A and B are shown apart, each in its own frame.
Chain A
Amino acid sequence: MRKKYLPCLLILLLGIAGCKDKNKDPHAELKESVVRQYSTLVAATYEDAYNHVVGLQSAITAMVASPSALSHQTAKAAWLAARETYGQTEAFRFSEGPIDDVDGPEGLLNAWPLDENYIDYVVGNPNSGIINDPMVSLDATTLAALNELGGERNIAVGYHAIEFLLWGQDDVDVTLRSAGQRPYTDYIFGGTAANQARRGDFIKVCASILVSKLEELKHEWEGGSSSNYRATFESLDNNEALRRIFTGIGILCKSELAGERIFTALDNQDQEDEHSCFSDNTHRDITNNFLGIKNCYLGTYTRADGSIVTGPSLSDLAAEYDATLNADIVARINIAWAQIHAIPVPFDFALTQESVGGSGPIQTTVNTLQALGDRFAAIADKMGIAISTQLPD
Chain B
Amino acid sequence: MPQYKRIFPAQKPLWIAGLIIVLLGSCRDADFPMDAEVGEELSGGQVTVFDAGPNAFGQQAPGLEGLQELEFFVGNSFFNQNWVVAPASAAARDGLGPLFNARSCSGCHFKDGRGRAPQFDGELSTGFLVRLATQNGRSPDPVYGGQLQDQAIPGVAVEGSVSISYGELTGRFPDGQAYSLRTPQYAIHATGYGNLASDLTFSPRVANQMPGLGLLEAIDAHDILARADAGDMDGDGVSGRPNYVWNVVSQSMTLGRFGWKANQPTLRQQTAGAFLGDMGITTSLFPNENCSASQQDCAAAPVGGSPEISDDDLRKVVLYVKTLAVPARRDWETQEVLLGKFKFAQIGCTACHTPSFVTGIDPEIPALSAQHIRPYTDLLLHDMGEGLGDGRPDFEATGNEWRTPPLWGIGLFGQVNSHTYYLHDGRARNLEEAILWHAGEGQRANDRYQALSKGDRQAILTFLKSL
Give the B-binding residues of A (Cβ under 8 A): 4-5, 7-9, 11-12, 15, 100, 102, 113, 115, 117-118, 123-124, 148, 150-154, 172, 255, 258-260, 263-264, 267-268, 270, 272-273, 356-357, 366, 370, 388, 390-393
Contacts and interface: CB of A to CB of B under 8 A. Distances in A.
Given A7-B15, A102-B53, A272 B81 contact: yes
Contacts of A12: 18, 22
Given A151-B102, A390-B60, A5 B14 contact: yes
A243 to B, nearest CB: 11
Contacts of A258: 70
B19 interface: yes
Contact of A255 (B73, B107, B415): B73
Contacts of A268: 74, 77, 92
B73 A388 contact: no
Interface string B15-34: 10111001101000000000
A9 B81 CA distance: 64
A-B CB proximity, top 7 nearest: A393-B58, A8-B18, A392-B55, A259-B73, A151-B107, A150-B125, A172-B89
B73 A102 contact: no
A30 B25 CA distance: 30
B239 interface: no
Nearest to A363: B70
B59 interface: yes
Nearest to A12: B22
Contacts of A263: 70, 73-74
Nearest to B324: A393
A272 B59 contact: no
B82 interface: yes
A181 to B, nearest CB: 15
Given A8-B14, A151-B102, A152-B111, A392 B53 contact: yes
Given A259-B70, A267-B74, A390-B62, A11 B80 contact: no
Contact of B55 (A8, A124, A393): A393
B419 to A, nearest CB: 14
A187 to B, nearest CB: 25
Contacts of A391: 59-60, 73
B81 A11 contact: no
Given A102-B53, A102-B54, A391-B60, A7 B80 contact: no
B59 A393 contact: yes
B161 interface: no
Contacts of B147: none
B371 interface: no
Nearest to A169: B89
8 contacts: A7-B15, A8-B15, A117-B84, A255-B73, A263-B70, A263-B74, A267-B71, A268-B74
B22 A393 contact: no
Contacts of B111: 152, 393
A153 B107 CA distance: 9
Nearest to B106: A152
Contacts of A264: 73-74, 76-77
B13 interface: yes
A388 B14 contact: no
A118 B106 CA distance: 15
A153 B93 contact: no
B103 A151 contact: yes
B68 to A, nearest CB: 11
B292 to A, nearest CB: 26
A255 B60 contact: yes
Contacts of B126: 150
Contacts of A267: 70-71, 74, 316
Contacts of B308: none
B415 A152 contact: no
B67 interface: yes
B104 interface: yes
Given A7-B15, A11-B15, 7 more contacts: A102-B54, A113-B81, A153-B81, A153-B82, A370-B69, A393-B58, A393-B111
B92 A270 contact: yes
A318 to B, nearest CB: 23
Interface of B: 13-15, 17-19, 22-23, 25, 49-51, 53-62, 67, 69-74, 76-77, 80-82, 84, 88-90, 92-93, 102-104, 106-107, 110-112, 124-126, 316, 325, 415
Contact of B106 (A113, A151, A259, A270): A151
Nearest to B126: A150
Contacts of B80: 151-153
- Best-buried of B50, B72, B84, B126 by chain A (most CB within 10 Å): B72
A385 to B, nearest CB: 14
Given A100-B53, A113-B81, A152-B111, A366 B70 contact: yes
Nearest to A149: B125
B104 A260 contact: no
B73 A11 contact: no
Q: Which of A15, A356, A390 has the most CB of B within 10 A?
A: A390
A154 B82 contact: yes
B48 to A, nearest CB: 10
B76 A390 contact: no
A22 to B, nearest CB: 12
Contact of B89 (A8, A123, A259, A392): A123
A153 B80 CA distance: 6
Contacts of A154: 82
B58 A7 contact: no
A153 B61 CA distance: 23
Contacts of A150: 102-103, 107, 124-126
B104 A153 contact: yes
A116 B72 CA distance: 24
B211 to A, nearest CB: 10
Contacts of A102: 53-54, 415
Contacts of B19: 7-8, 11
Contacts of B104: 151-153
B22 A15 contact: yes
A256 B15 CA distance: 54
A270 B102 CA distance: 22
A331 to B, nearest CB: 23
B74 to A, nearest CB: 5
A280 to B, nearest CB: 16
B15 A270 contact: no
Nearest to A393: B58
A392 B51 contact: yes
Contacts of B76: 260, 264, 393
Contacts of B103: 150-151
A115 B15 contact: no
Nearest to B81: A153
B73 A260 contact: yes
A102 to B, nearest CB: 6
A259 B61 CA distance: 14
Contact of B62 (A388, A392, A393): A388
B77 A273 contact: yes
B106 A392 contact: no
Contacts of B82: 115, 118, 151, 153-154
Nearest to B320: A393
Contacts of B88: 124
Interface centre among A12, A100, A150, A273 (most CB of B within 10 A): A150
B93 A272 contact: yes
Nearest to B51: A392
B15 to A, nearest CB: 4
A208 to B, nearest CB: 24
A259 B70 CA distance: 5
A347 to B, nearest CB: 16
A357 B67 contact: yes
A270 B310 CA distance: 15
B22 A7 contact: no
